[in-house]
């Protein structure tokens, strides 16, 4: 059964692989190019909790601007954070810089899963994916798509997250020693195109006859997910402070730790996923309410009120006056980009 599953899946992948800018054509060994592991690593970091469609333009922008890990390592962290703006989960960008600098210092990426796991920001999945795809090593690669395929293929009905140990073990039994990278990407493509979370296209699946979930008659229920917890509602305030006849706005850089860490932003009142903001402006004056924007985080839904003040005196603390005409180039996190668009449209 093991050989049949891997052989069938690889045959399907050879004819149905997605054409992605960070991929090697099916059946070819990893390119003998120092930039290849960098491209695989960059794509895998970007793809964490993010769709392929969202990642493509960012990947193109990053590789055009920083074509090697050495180029990325030499870049100012603020530039990398600004280029990442809009992609979300900003701790990934901070870890990208840390990891890139460590890799450049050691002269390149290590080729084994164990050594890769020691790099900053690389968990089990990313280390396994790079080892398999970039270096042709046998590694068990389990992302959300692979998790779903394996849970259905082996009818693993223990609820997540407890089921992940069994899912990984089951995936290990079918991961081949040859073409492990292609196998991992084939499982990912099968999960994204055929074995989807809703309405799986079982009649088109090359593994249908070997799938225990399909044989049981209800593959869509797998993997079994725990009930979702309600997401708390939070409120905060962003401060749109302008000078020079409204031509410039005061921006700050958020602390490295915490939500949206290291990103350029509008000043705010200290809201977090755990607490509402104080609503207290940083300076006294005749503030005007411009409206509010909504934004969803993993652990909270935020309503951010935007209030405005024209002042030539900046608040205490570090920041910079930024030309409003170039606000789109400030690299604001998505939440504050929404707030800025509201402010520009309102004043």
Structural domain spans, the chain: 2-221, 233-346
Angle at 78 between CA 76 and CA 81, to 5 degrees: 115
Q: What's the pLDDT score for residue 193?
A: 95
Paired tokens of 280: 């207290």
Superfamily of 233-346 according to CATH: Nucleoside Triphosphate Pyrophosphohydrolase (3.90.79.10)
pLDDT score of 153 more than 90 = yes
User: What mean pLDDT is predicted for residues 315-343?
Assistant: 91
**Can you tell me the distance from the alpha carbon of 104 to that of 43, in angstroms, rounded to the nearest whole number?**
18
89-114 confidence digits (pLDDT tens): 888 888 999 999 999 999 999 999 99
User: What mean pLDDT is predicted for residues 313-339?
Assistant: 89
The pLDDT-based confidence of 205 (bands split at 50, 70, 90) is very high
CATH code of the region 2-221: 1.10.340.30
Exposure b/e, 21-54, CB count within 10 A at least 16 = b: ebbbebeeebeeeeebbbbbbbbbbbbbeeeeee
The pLDDT-based confidence of 317 (bands split at 50, 70, 90) is confident
> How confident is the prediction for the chain on average, in pLDDT?
93
pLDDT score of 272 more than 70 = yes
Question: Known catalytic residue: 286?
Answer: no
pLDDT score of 1 more than 90 = no
User: What mean pLDDT is predicted for residues 28-49?
Assistant: 93
Q: What's the pLDDT score for residue 2?
A: 47
Q: What number of residues does the chain have? A: 347
User: What mean pLDDT is predicted for residues 203-207?
Assistant: 96
**Can you tell me the distance from the alpha carbon of 44 to that of 109, in angstroms, rounded to the nearest whole number?**
14
Q: What's the pLDDT score for residue 163?
A: 96
pLDDT score of 347 more than 80 = no
The pLDDT-based confidence of 160 (bands split at 50, 70, 90) is very high
Do 170 and 154 contact (CB within 8 A), yes or no? Answer: yes
Alpha helices, DSSP H, located in 194-274: 212-216
pLDDT score of 85 more than 50 = yes
**Can you tell me the distance from the alpha carbon of 177 to that of 72, in angstroms, rounded to the nearest whole number?**
33
Q: What's the pLDDT score for residue 3?
A: 52
**What percentage of the chain has pLDDT greater than the value 90?**
79
What separation in angstroms does the CA of 126 have from each of 61, 72, 100? 21, 19, 14
Exactly one of 44, 70, 113, 248 is catalytic; which is it? 44
User: What mean pLDDT is predicted for residues 296-313?
Assistant: 91
3-state helix, strand, coil in the chain (%, to 5): 45, 15, 40
User: What mean pLDDT is predicted for residues 19-45?
Assistant: 94
117-147 confidence digits (pLDDT tens): 999 989 999 999 999 999 999 999 999 999 9
């Amino acid at each position: 059964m093991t050989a049949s599953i891997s052989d069938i899946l690889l045959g399907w992948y050879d004819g149905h692989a997605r054409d992605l800018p960070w991929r090697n054509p099916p059946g070819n060994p990893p390119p003998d190019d120092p930039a290849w592991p960098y491209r695989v690593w960059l794509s895998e970091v970007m793809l964490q909790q993010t769709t392929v469609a969202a990642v493509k333009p960012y990947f193109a922008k990053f590789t055009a601007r920083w074509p090697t890990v050495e180029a990325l390592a030499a870049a100012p962290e603020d530039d990398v954070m600004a280029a990442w703006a809009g992609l979300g989960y900003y701790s990934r960008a901070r870890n990208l810089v840390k990891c890139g600098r460590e890799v450049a210092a050691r002269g390149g990426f290590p080729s084994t899963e164990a050594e890769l796991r020691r790099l900053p920001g690389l968990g089990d999945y990313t280390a396994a994916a790079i080892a398999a795809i970039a270096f042709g090593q046998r590694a068990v690669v389990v992302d959300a798509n692979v998790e779903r395929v394996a849970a259905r293929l082996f009818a693993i009905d223990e609820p997540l997250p407890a089921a992940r140990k069994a899912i990984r073990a089951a995936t290990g039994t079918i991961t081949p020693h040859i073409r492990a990278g292609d196998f991992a990407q084939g499982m990912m493509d099968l999960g994204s195109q055929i074995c989807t979370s809703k309405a799986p296209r079982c009649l088109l699946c090359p593994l249908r006859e070997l799938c225990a979930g399909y044989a049981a008659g209800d593959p869509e229920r797998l993997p079994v997910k725990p009930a979702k917890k309600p997401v708390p509602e939070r409120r905060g305030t962003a401060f749109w402070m302008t000078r020079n006849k409204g031509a410039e706005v005061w921006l700050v850089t958020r602390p490295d730790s915490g939500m949206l860490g290291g990103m350029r932003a509008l000043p705010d009142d200290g809201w977090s996923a755990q607490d509402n903001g104080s609503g207290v402006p940083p300076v006294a004056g005749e503030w005007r309410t411009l409206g509010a924007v909504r934004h969803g985080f993993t652990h909270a839904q935020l309503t951010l009120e935007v209030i405005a003040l024209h002042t030539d005196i900046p608040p205490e603390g570090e920041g910079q006056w930024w030309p409003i005409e170039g606000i789109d180039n400030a690299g604001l996190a998505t939440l504050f980009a929404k707030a800025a668009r509201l402010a520009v449209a309102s004043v």
